[in-house]
Amino acid sequence: MGDENECRNDRVGESSAEEEQEKLLERGTNDESDGHINHLDNDDEKNNSNNSSDDGFSEQQQQRGEESELRSEHVVEDVVGSRKSMRNHAHSHRRVEATHTQMTSAAAVTALANTVRTMFGPRALAVCIDARAQQLAGRRQRDLYTLQGGTLANAVELRHAASRVVAQTACLQAEMHGDGSTTSLLLADELIRRGVRLVHDNGLHTTTVTRGFRMSMAEARRLVETKSSISADKHVRISALAAARTALSSSMVCVVDVPQFTSIVVDAVVNTNNRLAKQKASADDARKYPLEDIHVLPIAGGDLQASHISDCYVVPRTKATLSTAAAAAARVAPARIACLNFGLPDRMRLPVGVSLASADGVGEKESALARARVAAIVRAGANVVLSSRAIGAASAQWLASGGAICASHVSLDDLNRIARSSGGAVQISMVDLNGDENLDASCVGAADEAFEDVIGSMRVLRLRRCRYMSSNTVVLRAPTAAMLDELERTVLRTVRVVKRVLESRRVVAGGGAVEAAVSARVKMFARIVSSREQLAVNEFG
């Protein structure tokens, strides 16, 4: 009984122990599960905390990014603003420079125009520049006396580019059309001043002003060509005389005898067409008047009224030729003219390094060659020898013994004119294809007679009634060299005016009538211009 109770107690104890173990195990598993759940809860809390922290960090980064973007935008705005300010400053600086350049250019042109303003019109005043002042400026050595604005603008020293351009325009006007050099200077000054005023006061661009001026010029030219010009076909000489009288009205000859000089100029221009008519020129050349055929010979001494147009071609002779050819004939008829662009004798120049072993016989050989050359000239039938270079004493004596008249140091322009008038040719050499020295007879010109004469203190050679042109030498006389230069410039200016009248056969009324009509027409034309060029067109009129 006791043993069974003990066994039963042991079983009960084991079962209770097992139950306790099972309870402990269940408790442990519960604790573990609770702990795992708690761990998971902690992880979730950590994740949540991490997520919240990440969200806060991203928000901070986003805020920082926005701040950096704002700062970058501010920096960009500052850079753009600085660049704009720099650009505006540069533009303003350029505008200031452009304004300064325009004002200085206008001032330079105005100064030049004011210099020549007193030389405009029939009451013009002459200007005299001392030779010493010109010598300091490195220019010509003679006194300058002039009534022409282009001549004065070319004589003074101009430093500004704008004034030099305007002066070149005046010189080009005088070279192409003869008259109007002072007018071109004053007109350019007025247009520049009005153009600058339009740019600064009205805000126009320079190209707009230029287009407006060009439109006005085209309209003015259309009016002059279609309405204001008059045909001069029926009274060509009268129209030419009137144009010459107008051109000479503001010169120094207006106080002496204007009709005399107008006749001289018109006759000189008309005679240039006679050569073309005798040479049977084409129909296009029938109305051409080559001014290079006009020979103007200024001779100092005498008064202005002694000026005349000669019925001969007058060639000045040098003193050396006169002294060596004293035995030459004073008159030859008919005259056969040889124009030479080389001297007599014409010594050959030896190359560098060549020396003569012996000078014996050199002089005799040169003399023989010169005599043979003179003999070839006389053999060709020439009894008037004109050379652009020197003629030696021996050669002049041989020509005189052959009955020929010679003149040395004749200008090349005179030789070309004489060759064209007489039907000859300027010879640069006498060597033919065979190496012999001969003068072709077809290159020798012809005239009715050639004789010596004296004009003032100058001995001259006259060639009367050449083959193609009878007379075309204008002899000018004046008491001083300065007045003689101005008289020559006046004649050369007037012949260009007469040439344009004779070639175009059209003239316009003087006295400012055409200018007034052009001004009224341009003012009316400005009313129909709808663009911004209207202001420039109105200022042009």
Do 501 and 522 sit in the same domain of this protein?
no
Mean pLDDT of 73-87: 55
Binned at pLDDT 50, 70 and 90, residue 217 comes out as: very high
Q: Which residues of 66-89 are buried (b: 16+ CB within 10 A; e: fewer)?
A: eeeeeeeeeeeeeeeeeeeeeeee
Section 370-393 average pLDDT = 88
Per-residue pLDDT tens over the stretch 412-436: 999 999 998 888 999 988 887 777 7
Q: How sure is the predictor about 98, in pLDDT bands with cuts at 50, 70 and 90?
A: low
Phi, psi of 418 (to 5 degrees): -65, -40
Bigger pLDDT: 528 vs 30: 528
Q: Which carries the bigger pLDDT value, residue 87 or residue 519?
A: 519
Q: Are residues 463 and 475 in the same domain?
A: no
SS3 label, residue 115 = helix
> Which residues lie across from 507 on neighbouring strands?
230
Q: Is position 3 within any domain? A: no
Is 268 contained in some domain? yes
Query: Residue 390 pLDDT > 80, yes or no?
Result: yes
Number of domains in the chain: 3
For range 218-247, the mean pLDDT: 88
CATH of the domain at 247: 3.30.260.10
Is 323 in the same domain as 441? yes
Is 300 inside any structural domain?
A: yes
CATH number at residue 534: 1.10.560.10
On the question of pLDDT at 124 being above 60, the answer is: yes
Q: Do 227 and 244 lie in a common domain?
A: no
Same domain assignment for residues 406 and 439: yes
C-beta atoms surrounding 231 within 10 Å: 11
According to the model, what pLDDT value does residue 25 have? 46
The answer to whether the Cα torsion of 302, 307, 310, 316 is positive or negative is positive
Flag whether the pTM goes above 0.85: no
pLDDT at 116: 87
Q: Let me know whether 443 and 464 are in one domain.
A: yes
Residue that the structure tokens 């020979």 belong to: 295
DSSP states of 425-469 as a string? -EES--B-TTS-B---GGG-EEEEEEEEEEETTEEEEEEEEESS-
What is the domain-level CATH number for residue 379? Answer: 3.50.7.10
- List, as own/partner pairs, every contact residues 322-327 make where C-beta atoms lie below 8 angstroms and the sequence separation is at least 24, other chains included: 322/459, 324/391, 324/392, 324/393, 324/396, 324/397, 325/396, 325/397, 325/399, 325/400, 325/405, 325/406, 327/397, 327/400, 327/401
Predicted local distance difference test score (pLDDT) of residue 141 = 59
Do 215 and 136 fall into the same domain? yes
Q: Are residues 258 and 287 in the same domain?
A: yes
Please name the helix (run of DSSP H) or strand (run of DSSP E) that holds residue 78, with its range, or none: helix 2-116
The strand pairing partners of 387, in sequence order, are 340
> Quick one: average pLDDT of 256-265?
84
User: Among 116-120, 432-436, 514-518, which range has the highest average pLDDT?
Assistant: 514-518
Average pLDDT rounded to a whole number, residues 342-368: 69
Pick from 377, 404, 412: which is nearest to 461 by CA? 404
Average pLDDT value for the chain = 77
Whole-angstrom CA distances from 411 to 4, 262, 295, 407 are 176, 27, 11, 11
Q: Which residues contact 438 (CB under 8 A, 6 or more apart)?
A: 376, 380, 430, 432
The pLDDT, as a whole number, for residue 444 is: 92
- Domain range for 426 is 312-346+363-468
Q: What is the 3-state secondary structure (H, E, C) of 236-260?
A: HHHHHHHHHHHHHCCCHHHHCCHHH
Q: For residues 387 and 442, state if they share a domain.
A: yes
Give yes or no: residues 496 and 525 share one domain.
Answer: no
Q: What is the rounded distance in angstroms from the CA atom of residue 482 to the CA atom of residue 129? A: 10
Q: What is the pLDDT of residue 436?
A: 79
Q: Is residue 455 part of a domain?
A: yes
Please report the sign of the dihedral spanned by the C-alpha atoms of residue 81, residue 83, residue 89, residue 91. Answer: negative
Residue 39 has pLDDT above 60, yes or no: no
- 3-class SS of residue 266: helix
In this structure, is residue 286 part of a structural domain? yes
Q: Are 408 and 338 within one domain?
A: yes
Q: Average the pLDDT over each of 19-23, 275-279, 355-359, 415-419 and give the range with the smallest value.
A: 19-23
Q: Mind giving me the DSSP string for 511-535?
A: TTHHHHHHHHHHHHHHHT--STHHH
Residue 439 sits in the same domain as residue 463: yes
CB 406 within 8 A of CB 452: no
pLDDT, one tens digit per residue, over 299-329 is 988 888 888 898 889 988 765 454 444 445 6
- pLDDT band at 74; cut points 50, 70, 90: low
Flag whether 259 is in a domain: yes
- For residue 345, whether the previous peptide bond is cis, meaning omega lies within 30 degrees of 0, is yes
Side chain identity, residue 334: P
User: CA 443 to CA 154: how far, in whole Å?
Assistant: 41
Residue range 140-199, pLDDT digits in tens: 556 777 888 888 888 888 888 888 899 888 888 888 888 888 888 999 999 999 988 888
277-291, 449-463, 491-505, range with the lowest pLDDT: 277-291
Any domain includes 42: no
- What confidence score (pLDDT) does residue 415 get? 92
pLDDT, position 337? 93
Q: State the pLDDT at residue 4.
A: 46
To 10 degrees, what angle do helices 533-540 and 181-201 make? 150
E strand spans, 232-374: 295-300, 308-310, 312-316, 331-332, 335-340
pLDDT band at 37 (very low <50, low <70, confident <90, very high): very low
178 domain-assigned: yes
